[in-house]
Every structure is written in structure tokens, then in C-alpha cells.
């Protein structure tokens, strides 16, 4: 399948500061790609360059096979949704949504028709004559969305569009946007620093750090198979344990921990015998029991604390050399501090990561 958007060796400097470094990224038509990373990682800058608000210092941006570096923003045909919504404060909701259609010289009757349809799509038909300042944050957000979609742009760009909403509304909007994406077949590039948002909505997630992409893949890939320590730590919670590779067998490696325990784990990338590595073990994949079971990987630990958190039980453990966290389902029994337990997990539930 041909790539619709292509970033080719993009580098961006602000004065002496390099914010995007030699970056390559391809996005397919109809795909929902999230750019995920901490603030300052370059994800927003990349989006701004795609929208044409910023120019790359070097490299090319291609849209449907043609370079668009020299195309000014207003001719790029991309709908942008900002975190602050950026609605026109002196225009009504209807006028805001009609604006991009008027810019394209569309006749009044069709403008009215399409504004009506767009408002219906975001369920705001009743508010057509209101000013943005008279709307709630969630309503403003939906107006911004309608305005960015009404002219059927080739790409929709979203810069942390849900950041200012409260938690419940944010989760509702995540599902609404995902639904629109599927129904309309939109190509969406979505910037966020919220990993659960990225996992919920995206076809693929690109994890940014210091101007580079650390890993790009489906939500399942970046969560279950983190390629780097940064990805493992940034997405979800994880236990990172240092160790040395003893043997490599295909997609698995045997790692010896400082305590002497041997762990068999799946491998991201390539590692060699004798190499110092990290093991990433997701807390919710750890099982606890007082008897050594049949699992391949078992660590002897002692419970230091245990916290009931409603949907799960969070247990802090201490092994001979390192702490460990386990999240247990709410049906699990309690483990009072001081209890000696065995922490077990399968080889597929942990990853070897080269440092």
C-alpha cells in the first residue's frame, strides 16, 4: 500500500537547539497515527511542519508523492484541531464552521447545507448561533472538530485536542473521534502526551523522545514489545530489572539476575551473550502464590506493602536485590506485608531490552 504522507530525513533547529533530528516516518491513507511523547520531544513541531506553520531546517515532507515544503499552509488542505480549540471569538458557531467553505468559494446554499450536516455530526445543531465564549469546553472542542472536518481535508491534524477536558468528557471524545475516523475513512495525525489516549485511539503509535522516534507500531506492539527502555517506561507501568544475557535461543534469551535467578524472556531487537540488559516485566502479568508453581520464571520475594485500589490490588514486593510491583485482579486474595511469596510470569510476558 502506498504511503500517503512521508517525512523524509526531517531535521528542525530552533537556533542552536535541535528539536527534530533526521526523522523518517510514513503514514498511510485512512490511518490513525498518534505521535506520543513527553513535552519537548518534537512531536508537536513535526505536526506544525506538516501543517505548514513551521519549515523544516532540512528534509522533505511528501503528500501523496509530491513534496509540499514550499506549499503555504492555506493551500495544504489539512484540517487542524488545536488544544485551545482556536475558535474565532468574533464569529458564531455556524460562521466558524462555514469559514473554510467560504475560503474555497463554495456557494451559500451548499455552505449552509454542509454546516448543518457537520453540526449534526457533532450533535450541536441547536447551538448554531451561539458565540464560542457561550459554549462549554466540550462543546467548543466539538465545534473545532466540525470546523476541521467540514471541508473534507486530505489529512486531519490534532494537537492534544482533548488536553483541556476533564476525564469523563475526554474518554467520551476519544471514542467519538475514533468512531468518526472509522466512519469517514479519515487520515488522522494525532499528537498527545497521554499514553492511554494514544493506545485507545490509534492504528499505530509513534513514540517520540528527544526529537527521534523510539518505536512505531500498533498499540499492542508498543505496549507488549517495547523496543527501548524509554518506551517500556513511558507507556504503562513496568518493572525494570538489570541482568546479564547467558544464552540466546531464537526469539528468547536466558538472563541471569544479580540475585542469581535465571529468567527466560522474549527479546526485542538483537542481544548477544554476556551483554548487560534490562528486563521489562509488566506488573499486571505477574502472578503471586505461596507455592512455587510450574511457571518458567519464578522469583522468591517478600511482600512489603499492599494497596487496594478498587479495580486492582497493588502489591509491592522485595526480592533479594530489587523491588518488584505486581497488580492483581480484584478477585485476588490479600497478601499482608511480610508474607513470603513466589512471583511468577511466562517468558512471553517479559521483554529483554538492550540498554
What residues make contact with other proteins under the rule CB under 8 A? 51-53, 55, 72-80, 82, 84, 86-90, 99-100, 103-104, 131, 133, 147-148, 151, 157
Yes or no: say if 248 and 271 are a contact pair by the CB < 8 Å rule. Answer: yes
Q: How many residues does the chain have?
A: 355
> Which triple of cell numbers denotes residue 2?
502506498
**Phi then psi dihedrals of residue 223, to 5 deg:** -80, -50
Helices (H) and strands (E) in the chain, counts: 8, 20
By beta-carbon proximity to other proteins, the closer residue of 83 and 339 is 83
Sheet containing strand 155-159, edge to edge, reads 78-81, 155-159, 188-192, 32-36, 204-209, 212-217
CB 64 → other proteins: shortest distance, Å? 18
By beta-carbon proximity to other proteins, the closer residue of 90 and 333 is 90
Yes or no: say if 199 and 224 are a contact pair by the CB < 8 Å rule. Answer: no
Number of Cβ within a 10 Å radius of residue 224: 19
CA–CA gap between residue 348 and residue 267 (Å, rounded): 9
Yes or no: say if 3 and 30 are a contact pair by the CB < 8 Å rule. Answer: no
CB 32 → other proteins: shortest distance, Å? 19
Yes or no: say if 38 and 209 are a contact pair by the CB < 8 Å rule. Answer: yes
By beta-carbon proximity to other proteins, the closer residue of 155 and 207 is 155
By beta-carbon proximity to other proteins, the closer residue of 128 and 295 is 128
Number of Cβ within a 10 Å radius of residue 138: 17
Residues 6+ apart with CB under 8 A from 69: 55, 56, 60, 61
CB 113 → other proteins: shortest distance, Å? 18
CB 78 → other proteins: shortest distance, Å? 6
By beta-carbon proximity to other proteins, the closer residue of 177 and 347 is 177
CA–CA gap between residue 206 and residue 113 (Å, rounded): 37
CA–CA gap between residue 111 and residue 335 (Å, rounded): 64
Nearest CA among 341, 346, 347, 350 for reference residue 288: 341
By beta-carbon proximity to other proteins, the closer residue of 69 and 172 is 69
**Phi then psi dihedrals of residue 149, to 5 deg:** -100, -25
CB 29 → other proteins: shortest distance, Å? 20
CB 311 → other proteins: shortest distance, Å? 37
By beta-carbon proximity to other proteins, the closer residue of 49 and 350 is 49
CB 70 → other proteins: shortest distance, Å? 9
Yes or no: say if 69 and 55 are a contact pair by the CB < 8 Å rule. Answer: yes
CB 88 → other proteins: shortest distance, Å? 6
By beta-carbon proximity to other proteins, the closer residue of 128 and 354 is 128
Amino acid at each position: 500500500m502506498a504511503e500517503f504522507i512521508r517525512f523524509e530525513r526531517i531535521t528542525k533547529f530552533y537556533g542552536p537547539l535541535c528539536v527534530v533530528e533526521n526523522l523518517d516516518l510514513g503514514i498511510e491513507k485512512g490511518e490513525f497515527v498518534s505521535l506520543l511523547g513527553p513535552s519537548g520531544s518534537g512531536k508537536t513541531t513535526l505536526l506544525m511542519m506538516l501543517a505548514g506553520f513551521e519549515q523544516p531546517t532540512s528534509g522533505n515532507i511528501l503528500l501523496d508523492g509530491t513534496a509540499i515544503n514550499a506549499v503555504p499552509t492555506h493551500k495544504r488542505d489539512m484540517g487542524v484541531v488545536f488544544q485551545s480549540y482556536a475558535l474565532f471569538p468574533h464569529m458564531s458557531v455556524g460562521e466558524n464552521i462555514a469559514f473554510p467553505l467560504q475560503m474555497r468559494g463554495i456557494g451559500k446554499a451548499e455552505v449552509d447545507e454542509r454546516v448543518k450536516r457537520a453540526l449534526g455530526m457533532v450533535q450541536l445543531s441547536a447551538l448554531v448561533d451561539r458565540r464560542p465564549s457561550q459554549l462549554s469546553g466540550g462543546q467548543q472542542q466539538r465545534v473545532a472538530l466540525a470546523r476541521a472536518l467540514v471541508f473534507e481535508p486530505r489529512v486531519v491534524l490534532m494537537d492534544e485536542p482533548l488536553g483541556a477536558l476533564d476525564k469523563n468528557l475526554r474518554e467520551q471524545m476519544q471514542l467519538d473521534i475514533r468512531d468518526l475516523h472509522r466512519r469517514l475513512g479519515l487520515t488522522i495525525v494525532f499528537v498527545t502526551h497521554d499514553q492511554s489516549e494514544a493506545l485507545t485511539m490509534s492504528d499505530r503509535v509513534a513514540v517520540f523522545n528527544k526529537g527521534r522516534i523510539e518505536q512505531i507500531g500498533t498499540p499492542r506492539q508498543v505496549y507488549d514489545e517495547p523496543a527501548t527502555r524509554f518506551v517500556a517506561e513511558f507507556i504503562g507501568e513496568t518493572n525494570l530489572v538489570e541482568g546479564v544475557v547467558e544464552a540466546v535461543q531464537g526469539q528468547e534469551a536466558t538472563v541471569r539476575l544479580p540475585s542469581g535467578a535465571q529468567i527466560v524472556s522474549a527479546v526485542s531487537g538483537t542481544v548477544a551473550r554476556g551483554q548487560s540488559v534490562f528486563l521489562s516485566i509488566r506488573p499486571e502479568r505477574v502472578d503471586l502464590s505461596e507455592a512455587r508453581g510450574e511457571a518458567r520464571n519464578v522469583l522468591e520475594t517478600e511482600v512489603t506493602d499492599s494497596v487496594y485500589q478498587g479495580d486492582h490490588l497493588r502489591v509491592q514486593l522485595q526480592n533479594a536485590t530489587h523491588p518488584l510491583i505486581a497488580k492483581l485482579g480484584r478477585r485476588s486474595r490479600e497478601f499482608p506485608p511480610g508474607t513470603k511469596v513466589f512471583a511468577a510470569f511466562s517468558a512471553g510476558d517479559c521483554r529483554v531490552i538492550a540498554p
